[in-house]
Amino acid sequence: MKHAPRLRRQKAADAYLAHTHLPWLGAAALTTTLPHIYYLPAWLSVTVTLLFLSCAAQWRYGYRVTRAWIRVLLTLAICAGIAFQYGFNPGRDSGIAMLTILAGMKLMELKSRRDSVVLLMLCHFLLLTHYFYSQNLLTGLWLIFSVLMVTAALLRIHAAANVAIRPLIGRAARLILQALPFMLALYLLFPRVSGPLWGVPQDAYGARTGLGNSMSPGSISRLSNDEGIAFRVQFVGAAPPRRQLYWRGPIFNYYDGNTWRGRDFSSAAPALEKRGQPLRYVMTLEAHRRNWLLPLEMPDEVVGLASRMSADGVLYSAQPILARTRVEMVSYPDYRLEARLAANRRIDNLQLPENYNPRTLALAASWRAETADSRQLAARALDYFRRENFFYTLEPPLSGRNAIDDFLFNTRQGFCEHYAAAFVALMRAAQVPARVVTGYLGGELNPVDGFLVVRQSAAHAWAEIWVEGEGWLRVDPTGVIPEDRVSANAQAARRIAAPEFAGQAIDWLQQARYRWEALNNRWNQWVLGYTPERQREVLAALGLSNPNLRRILLALAIVMGGLLLLFTLWLLYPRRAKPADPALRVWRKALTYLRRKKGVTAPDWETPLALAQRLRSPALLHLAQLVCDARYAGQPPKISSLRQALKALKQSENAGGGTPPAKNRSKRPPDYLA
């Protein structure tokens, strides 16, 4: 019983939260929640900002909300707002919003060390949620900085005395570096799973953009200013010329007067006649939630991914592309596709809606009356686009019910989907089977790493017509529009989508962009692209043959046990602790310098001032006085002044200050300041 007061005092000391802890806790919470402000609704972002400002007011003025009923009502109101914003179905966005709000609310009620530990554990959970939105290199660097701040805050709340910022950050960095071997072992050996772990919530992929499974006015123009990367390609050998860079995506056969849609006629692939030399390349697809693979026309072989080709020549994967996917492909730029067309497929590729676009039907019928040759009819339509006053723009005027009639005879302004749709309608009206093909055109060759980068802004639509004996032929009606009839915004989009590979001037800003994207690509290939297949290849290269799950777990246990043993031996190894006092460290450096350069040593009982007076050195006397002031004076000097005095001592001794050698010698510096 006599120890009860002491235990109560100890418990109270452990529960105490110092005023100087608040900046560290606020900084840790701020770094872990700040990137989420971009994805949260505006009212939630404002709420989180106000909560952080309340923490700053508590630190600066000592004010905080002490009434519990105010915090309870505020929490209930925020939870009701989140439920109204996201609905009552659990998902990624609603869960992250709740975690962010909880971190801010915890800042309002910080009273003890236990509250601060709960806040820091919540920050660790928030660190994982950032990869739900972005997995690029910049996110990884920010998370490393966030882990450093959270670790430093955890050390600060458990420190016995006030610690400066620099030593605290250094200690946190050392702890993270000590954990690095364990992290690498877990990264290399922990069994990988296919696909992302966070694909369960319904809104896990809601922020993705790209080509859709239908085409209506404006669907592709929305991607024209999107600088997001659709995929990267690395060719085995030189990249092909730009005229061959048509990346084949979904095909649309059915037209209802407003929207073009595709039809899955059968799962049988069309007959492909391969000509010329193949192109081999490795494609890294970004997640787009669809099944198409966007190969270079025309694909023949896919390695490393289960896939099939539809009757329209669209390459599909067995599963939707929900994560960054790396696949090897072989394509033939010179080919003949489906030399014979079945009767039912001919009917489907001649379909047009009834009672729509009468002027278009009449124009095509007049061309058909003059010639029945499919190539001549296609040339006639292209000449019509070239000869008439058509303009290429990303901001065309609105069309009415007969959208194609309005485009061909009234507005004559549009972008690739307008030209492709109008061309296909003209060909079908002239009894030539035709269809709309969407995908991407061109690409941007990164000279740093040699990867061809295809962005969302390179989204494109073109047409295919079927010619007897020749099969499906690609026709790009957008390419016949003269450059002087292309609007400024469309010219910028064209330059972004398909720049020339050689001869382009690259300024320093573009060069920096290339280097950053190349660095991001290496991050994607070697860190985020560490799939189960890549793991088996790495383990096989390390000598682990047939790396099944049992062998991988056994190797992981052996490596982790070995690391723990080495780390334990390193901790148990006896070493002389460095003095925590910075003034003592400077004085020991001075004694080491005098012993090595001048042969001067001092006994353990000799004080700094006595040694300086004995050696008759003004520079040493100045340093000794600063050391004594730093340890015993009420207002100690800055550590920088001690370092400058040590530097002055070395300069004076090197200049021949004449320090006489001493007879008293010792094998180590004195410990009288310890």
Provide the residue type at 421 as one letter.
A
Out of 460, 484, 622, 671, the active site residue is 460
Please write down the HEC assignment for all residues of 276-312. Answer: CCCEEEEEEECCCCCCECCCECCEEEEECCCEEECCC
Tokens of 356: 């729509």
CA–CA gap between residue 512 and residue 445 (Å, rounded): 14
Instruction: List Cβ<8 Å contacts ≥24 apart for 584-592.
Output: 584/627, 584/631, 584/673, 584/674, 586/623, 586/627, 586/639, 586/642, 586/643, 586/645, 586/646, 587/623, 587/624, 587/627, 587/673, 588/669, 589/646, 590/620, 590/623, 590/646, 590/649, 591/669, 591/670, 592/669
CA–CA gap between residue 520 and residue 525 (Å, rounded): 9
Q: For residue 626, how far is the Cα from the chain centroid?
A: 51
Q: CA end-to-end span of the chain, whole Å?
A: 38
Q: Please report the DSSP string for 553-599 in residue order.
A: HHHHHHHHHHHHHHHHHHHHS--PPPPS-HHHHHHHHHHHHIIIII-
**H or E stretch at 231:** strand 229-235
Q: Cβ atoms within 10 A of the Cβ of 71, count? A: 14
Out of 312, 476, 484, 581, the active site residue is 476
The candidate with the shortest Cα–Cα distance to 187, out of 552, 566, 521, 565, is: 552
**8 Å CB contact between 328 and 304:** yes
656: left (phi over 0), alpha (psi -120 to 50) or beta: left
494: left (phi over 0), alpha (psi -120 to 50) or beta: alpha
The CB-side HSE value for 182 (13 A sphere, CA atoms) comes to: 12
CA–CA gap between residue 598 and residue 591 (Å, rounded): 10
Which residue is it, tokens 């295919």? 464
Q: Cβ atoms within 10 A of the Cβ of 418, count? A: 29
CA–CA gap between residue 616 and residue 662 (Å, rounded): 12
CA–CA gap between residue 175 and residue 148 (Å, rounded): 9
Strand partners, 414: 392
The candidate with the shortest Cα–Cα distance to 528, out of 180, 36, 197, is: 197
Q: What is the DSSP letter of 3?
A: T
The candidate with the shortest Cα–Cα distance to 350, out of 261, 425, 260, is: 425
**8 Å CB contact between 581 and 617:** no
Strand 391-392 and strand 413-414: pairing?
Answer: parallel
Strand partners, 335: 274
**8 Å CB contact between 230 and 458:** yes
Q: What angle do CA 257, 460, 205 make, to 5 degrees?
A: 90
Out of 416, 449, 629, 671, the active site residue is 416
416 is catalytic: yes
Q: Cβ atoms within 10 A of the Cβ of 198, count? A: 14
CA–CA gap between residue 48 and residue 200 (Å, rounded): 27
* Catalytic residue ranges: 416, 460, 476
